[in-house]
């Protein structure tokens, strides 16, 4: 049975052409910095992001953690949004492994934390009672805020504030290319202002593994040691980097297709009785490939399934979706390389029938 798997854009499998590129990759020992394919990928991503260097890491989580451990030490403070991936879904790694204290600010629906709240949260460096504010973490696109594109001028404003206060900005750009395609501007529009940027190859870009962490040459040198400490010094890893290079050549422009499919999906969801989706609403900034939706409380009271039951019924109909959050009413569907426009039509039919239980 072929699933229509909308749980995440992490579920894609490498295409035949990508697998060929991987099989043919020229490799070396990357801990000796002798893997030419890894070096090519790191340089290429650094160029795209306008940074001096890049570091290939195993995952987005490892990239964010490596960045935070490079920027901050034990007892230092990190400013992060309450809906940030780094705060919600990275196992508390910066605290668990780095002793980094988190100041958690409320995210606005557009993925930002108000500048005034950040300014208030920054500690007085002369106060011996306070941790030192070292790093502010932003996310683009913002996953839990619905895959919304962060306003590029906001990143510049935060970076200016950070500089004034002696802190740095780390950008979790897991889906930065989605943001770039959605707004029709280069990734540098966001990355230029940030001190470090992590971009995932294994989400919309369709590579099986890997992320690249970029920043200054000095930052990358320090980050390389931290990556080694985390057990992320990999060896003939050009096999994986080749998939990333292939993705940069072939899978960036096509993200537009995922965004179109996501708009169609969100519109179909919003047109289904008992369901609503914020991503069906036009916004000043763009939505991308994530579609969060909610089962109306009133519909559940009149017999509609809750999120867990709806996901089970969808699965029986060959469609995979993720129940999300604590309300029991929210789900997420994500469009990606392995989902066609026809799959979206089928998923919507399945959704309507699963809502009715017919």
202 binds ligand TLP, rule: CB under 6 A: yes
Burial class (CB in 10 A: 0-12, 13-18, 19+), 301: exposed
Please report whether residue 12 would count as binding ligand TLP according to CB under 6 A.
Answer: no
Q: Which of 37, 143, 180, 272 binds ligand TLP (CB under 6 A)?
A: 143
β-pairing, 77-81 with 275-276? unpaired
Which residue, 133 or 202, is less far from ligand TLP as judged by CB?
202
Q: Distance between the two ends of the chain, CA-based, in angstroms?
A: 21
Query: Judged by CB under 6 A, which stretch of 58-66, 102-110, 187-195, 302-310 contacts ligand TLP?
Result: 58-66
By CB under 6 A, tell whether 89 contacts ligand TLP. Answer: yes
Q: In what order do the strands lie in the sheet with 196-200?
A: 53-57, 211-215, 196-200, 168-173, 133-139, 77-81, 101-105
Taking the least distance from each CB to ligand TLP, the nearer of 80 and 347 is: 80
Burial class for 353, CB neighbours closer than 10 Å (0-12, 13-18, 19+): middle
**174 touching ligand TLP, by CB under 6 A:** yes
Inter-residue contact 213 to 196 (CB < 8 Å):
yes
User: Applying CB under 6 A, what is the total number of residues that bind ligand TLP?
Assistant: 14
- From 244, 254, 198, 181, select the one nearest 69 (Cα to Cα): 198
Query: Does 8 interact with ligand TLP (rule: CB under 6 A)?
Result: yes
139 binds ligand TLP (CB under 6 A): yes
Residue 286 or 304: the one with the smaller Cβ distance to ligand TLP is 286
Q: Does 10 bind ligand TLP (CB under 6 A)?
A: yes
One-character DSSP codes across 28-84: --GGGT--HHHHHHHHHHHHHHT-SEEEEES-HHHHHHHHHHHH--TT-EEEEETT-
Residue written as token pair 């839990």: 144
Residue nearer to ligand TLP on the CB measure, 232 or 305: 232
CA atoms of 267 and 281, how far apart (whole Å): 8
By beta-carbon proximity to ligand TLP, the closer residue of 204 and 274 is 204
Q: How far is the CB of 199 from ligand TLP (least distance, A)?
A: 10
Are the beta carbons of 32 and 183 closer than 8 angstroms? no
Residue 326 C-beta: closest distance to ligand TLP, Å: 15
Binding of ligand TLP by 258 (CB under 6 A): no
| Cβ distance to ligand TLP smaller for residue 12 or 61 | 61
CB of 64 to ligand TLP, least distance (A): 6
Least separation in angstroms between CB 304 and ligand TLP: 25
Residue 145 or residue 355: which is nearer to ligand TLP going by CB? 145
Residue 200: alpha-carbon gap to chain centroid: 7
Q: Is the Cβ of residue 211 or residue 279 nearer to ligand TLP in the bound state?
A: 211
| Chain residue at closest Cβ approach to ligand TLP | 60
Q: Cβ 274 to ligand TLP, closest distance in Å?
A: 25
Answer for the pair 210, 202: CB distance below 8 angstroms, yes or no. yes
Phi, psi of 168 (to 5 degrees): -125, 165
* Residue closer to ligand TLP (CB basis): 22 or 355: 22
Nearest distance in Å: CB 122, ligand TLP: 24
Among 14, 53, 54, 60, contact with ligand TLP (rule: CB under 6 A): 60
Task: Please say whether the beta carbons of 25 and 38 come within 8 A.
Answer: no
Residue 343 touches ligand TLP, criterion: CB under 6 A: no
Tell me which of 30, 41, 49, 59 binds ligand TLP, using CB under 6 A. 59
Q: How far apart are CA 41 and CA 243, in angstroms?
A: 10
Taken as a whole, the chain contains a residue count of: 358
Our finding on whether 172 is near ligand TLP (CB under 6 A) is yes
- Beta carbons within 8 Å of 208's beta carbon, 6+ residues apart: 13, 14, 202, 240, 243
Q: Which residues bind ligand TLP (CB under 6 A)?
A: 8, 10, 59-61, 85, 89, 139, 143, 172, 174, 200, 202, 211
């Amino acid at each position: 049975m072929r699933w229509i798997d909308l749980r995440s854009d992490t579920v894609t499998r490498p295409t035949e052409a990508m697998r060929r590129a991987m099989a043919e990759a020229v490799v070396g020992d990357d801990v000796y910095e002798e893997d030419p394919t890894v070096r090519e990928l790191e340089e290429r991503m650094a160029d795209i992001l306008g940074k001096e260097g890049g570091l290939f890491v195993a995952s987005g989580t490892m990239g964010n953690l490596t960045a935070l451990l490079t920027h901050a030490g034990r007892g230092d403070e990190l400013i992060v949004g309450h809906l940030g991936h780094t705060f919600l879904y990275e196992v508390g790694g910066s605290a668990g492994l780095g002793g980094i204290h988190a100041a958690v600010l409320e995210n606005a629906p557009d993925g930002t934390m108000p500048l005034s709240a950040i300014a208030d949260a920054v500690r007085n460096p002369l106060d011996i009672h306070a941790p030192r504010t070292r790093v502010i973490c932003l996310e683009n696109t913002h996953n839990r805020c619905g895959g919304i594109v962060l306003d590029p001028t906001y990143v510049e404003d935060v970076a200016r504030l950070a500089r004034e206060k002696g802190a740095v900005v780390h950008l979790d750009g897991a889906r930065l290319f989605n943001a770039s395609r959605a707004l029709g501007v280069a990734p540098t529009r966001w990355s230029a202002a940030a001190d470090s940027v992590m971009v995932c190859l294994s989400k919309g870009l369709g590579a099986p593994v890997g992320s690249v962490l970029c920043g200054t040459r000095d930052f990358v040198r320090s980050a390389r040691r931290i990556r080694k400490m985390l057990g992320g010094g990999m060896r003939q890893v050009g096999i994986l980097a080749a998939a990333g290079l292939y993705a940069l050549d072939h899978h960036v422009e096509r993200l537009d297709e995922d965004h179109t499919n996501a708009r169609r999906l969100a519109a179909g969801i919003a047109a289904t009785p008992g369901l609503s989706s914020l991503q069906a609403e036009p916004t000043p900034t763009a939505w991308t490939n994530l579609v969060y939706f909610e089962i109306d409380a009133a519909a559940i009271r009149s017999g509609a399934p809750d999120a867990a039951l709806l996901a089970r019924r969808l699965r029986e109909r060959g469609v995979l979706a993720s129940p999300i959050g604590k309300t029991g009413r929210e789900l997420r569907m994500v469009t990606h390389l392995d989902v066609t426009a026809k799959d979206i039509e089928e998923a919507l039919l399945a959704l309507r029938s699963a809502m009715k239980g017919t």
